[in-house]
Amino acid sequence: MKLTDGEKRMLDGAEGPALARALDYVVQLGDAFGAERLTDVSYVHYPAEMSIYRGSVEELVEYAASGAKVAVPTTSSTLACDLDQWPRTGCPAALAGLQGRAVAAHRALGVLGTYTCTPQFLGFAPPRGAHIVSVESSAIIYFNSVLGARTNRGGFLTRYSAVCGKYPLMGYLLDGNRGGTHLFRCRLGAEDLRSPTDWSALGFHAGKFAGSEVPVFEGLPRPTHIDLLALGAALATSGSVTLFHAPPWTAEAGSVEAAFGGRIPKETRDVARADLDAAYDALTTIAPGEPVDFVSLGCPHLTLDGIRGIAEWLRGRAARVAEGVRLWCNTNRMTRAAAAWEGAVAAIEAAGGLVVSDSCPVESHMRLSTCREHGLAAPNVGAMVADSAKMARYVGDLIGCRTALAPRERCLEAAITGRFRGR
Amino acid sequence: MAVRTIRGRSVVRGTAEGEALVSSVPISFLGDVDMETGEIIAAGHPLRGMSIAGKVLVYPEAKGSSGGCVVLMSLAKAGRAPAAIVLMKPADFNIVEGAIVCGIPLLCEPEEDLLRTLPSGTPVRIGDVGNL
């Protein structure tokens, strides 16, 4: 790889051992994939070390003690617990304590304590063409597709990119890798896509076929930003999709032809409402009428209007969450603070629900392996209803419970009746 | 037994020697491997009960969550990581990033079909032969 004189000096240790090591890792990554040179990145979304992986926190604490600092604005992804409310969520004290050590190390490194999967809604919305490094598949696909910023699926080296401010020029940073591969001709009207959960079902369906390539959606009705968030999160669940185009609603392609850049799709499929129904069915193992004990809303994390909507729904019905049911509304601490200020958090809590920040069920102590390690009941949840295909898919395996995918209203009905009545 | 040298595309630099452990099916570090011991724990896996610690681990391709990196790091900290990894197919970003940080040599697309020609237990050497 061709390095600039400044990069060569950094690699030789002129700016200290922490920077030299960080750059060496990033250069090795570029060499492994044949990148020609490095590029400066303007923003990093960092994989906050979760205390459910003990080794990773210890390694982080050691690293932070080396005196390394991030070189660019760096937000952090979700943790394994709510740092303030962990006792209310049933999180073991040992896990919360270990997580607190990670948070102190993040602060020492200069990482911002956002602890969210949706930094793009907290003011970190890089423009079209920006080179960034991000973890968290639902944020990665939103940055690439909706905003037109450029990132690969960041992994372990994200930390080192944050410290040296560099990433190899490769993968989705290059024009040639951003063209469409799979065409989905959507026979779907606004009546078929009535909620973000419907968009989530669409993404779950299409992701299976798109795999790790670039799907293009033709003929979708005008979406909201929450619809596109839901679509992307699900595409990156059933597939490992990093970028999609939905002309003319996404950043880079005004038309289907432009999205394919003159190339012929590898695969073309028609999509109808029946495909969405099949996605709902595939993620639903709770039969209509059966009891549920957990309702999870906010995957990805809820925005302020999402929390307000839940609060108003509960307040309008003077509803209470049924005995034995846990209702978690998952968000980040900045959004929770705003929702608390306007009274929405108090309304949800008065109804018996929780507004959980920093984390979510699937990242929490409720994972099967973590429950066993800490002597908690495993599985911790019997039957969970969620309004996101991503949540429904991962809790099935990681928490080991039965699941149902349903739009938010149906989820809230399940929370107050204690039963799933179907979608 | 004579030590066999394995050649291929050197993706993460380094040299290693050890007994080969050859899996005919993909391995996901998250879920398939015990984080503390390096034992393969996945139900139905052909190598279930075997340990990857100190082995030259040969398998078709990486699979599974990016959380696999964290498992690899835990194994490395516990001294239970593989000595080297050999993938029959090209590597994805995730496994490469994990191997770089953990200092585990990673070779891809070896010259011969090791899944057929290399029995587990054979002593092998990974040379730092550069990109072929």
pLDDT tens, position by position, B83-117: 999 999 988 888 899 999 999 999 999 989 999 99
Confidence at B131, pLDDT banded by 50, 70, 90:
very low
Rounded Cα distance, A167 and A150, in Å: 11
Rounded Cα distance, A54 and A369, in Å: 12
Rounded Cα distance, B100 and A293, in Å: 43
Mean pLDDT, residues A385-404? 94
Residues A160 and A13 in one domain: yes
In a domain, A287, yes or no: no
Confidence at A153, pLDDT banded by 50, 70, 90:
very high
Last residue of a domain, one of A175, A201, A227: A175
Confidence at B69, pLDDT banded by 50, 70, 90:
confident
- Quick one: CATH architecture of B9-126? 3-Layer(bba) Sandwich (3.50)
The total number of structural domains in chain A stands at 3
Residue B39 has pLDDT above 90, yes or no: yes
In a domain, A88, yes or no: no
Residue of B66, B107, B132 to mutate when probing chain A, most A C-beta within 10 A: B66
The pTM of the full predicted model, rounded to 2 decimals, is 0.94
Residues A147 and A243 in one domain: no
Whole-number average pLDDT of chain A: 96
Report the share of chain A in percent with pLDDT over 90: 95
Q: Tell me the three state secondary structure of residue B129.
A: coil
Each residue's pLDDT tens digit, A54-66: 778 988 999 999 9
- Residue B62 DSSP one-character state: B
Domain containing A410: what range? 294-417
Residues A239 and A320 in one domain: no
Closest residue in chain A to residue B107, using alpha carbons only: A32
Residues A355 and A337 in one domain: yes
In a domain, A273, yes or no: yes
Q: Are A182 and A210 in contact (CB under 8 A)?
A: yes
Residues A39 and A110 in one domain: yes
Mean pLDDT, residues A66-81? 96
* Tokens read off for A369: 């392996």
In a domain, A422, yes or no: no
Bridge partners (DSSP) of residue A39 are A167
Confidence at A410, pLDDT banded by 50, 70, 90:
very high
Residues A298 and A150 in one domain: no
Residues A78 and A191 in one domain: no
- Taken in order A110, A114, A119, A125, the sign of the CA dihedral is negative
* Tokens read off for A314: 């509960």
Q: Are A248 and A373 in contact (CB under 8 A)?
A: no
In a domain, A340, yes or no: yes
Mean pLDDT, residues B58-76? 83
User: B70 and A33 in contact by Cβ < 8 A?
Assistant: no
- Is B65 an active-site residue? yes
Residues 6 or more apart whose Cβ sits within 8 Å of residue A191: none
Residues A151 and A183 in one domain: no
Residue B30 has pLDDT above 50, yes or no: yes
Last residue of a domain, one of A142, A175, A208: A175
Nearest to B97 among A56, A59, A155 (CB): A155
* Tokens read off for A380: 């911790």
Residues A14 and A163 in one domain: yes
Q: Are A19 and A166 in contact (CB under 8 A)?
A: no
Q: What is the pLDDT of residue B1?
A: 72
- Taken in order A346, A350, A356, A360, the sign of the CA dihedral is negative
- A31 phi/psi in degrees, rounded to 5: -60, -40
In a domain, A78, yes or no: yes
Residues A69 and A193 in one domain: no
Confidence at B130, pLDDT banded by 50, 70, 90:
very low
**Residues within 8 A of B (CB atoms), A 45-64 only:** 53-56, 58-59
Q: What is the pLDDT of residue B66?
A: 67
Residues A259 and A399 in one domain: no
Whole-number average pLDDT of chain B: 89
Residues A43 and A167 in one domain: yes
Confidence at B128, pLDDT banded by 50, 70, 90:
low
Each residue's pLDDT tens digit, A202-260: 999 999 999 999 999 999 999 999 999 999 999 999 998 999 999 999 999 999 999 99
Last residue of a domain, one of A224, A253, A282: A282
Q: Are A292 and A381 in contact (CB under 8 A)?
A: no
**Residues within 8 A of A (CB atoms), B 63-102 only:** 66-67, 69-71, 73-74, 77-78, 91, 93-94, 96-98, 100-101
Q: What is the pLDDT of residue B2?
A: 85
Mean pLDDT, residues A40-61? 91
Each residue's pLDDT tens digit, A76-103: 999 999 999 999 999 999 999 999 999 9
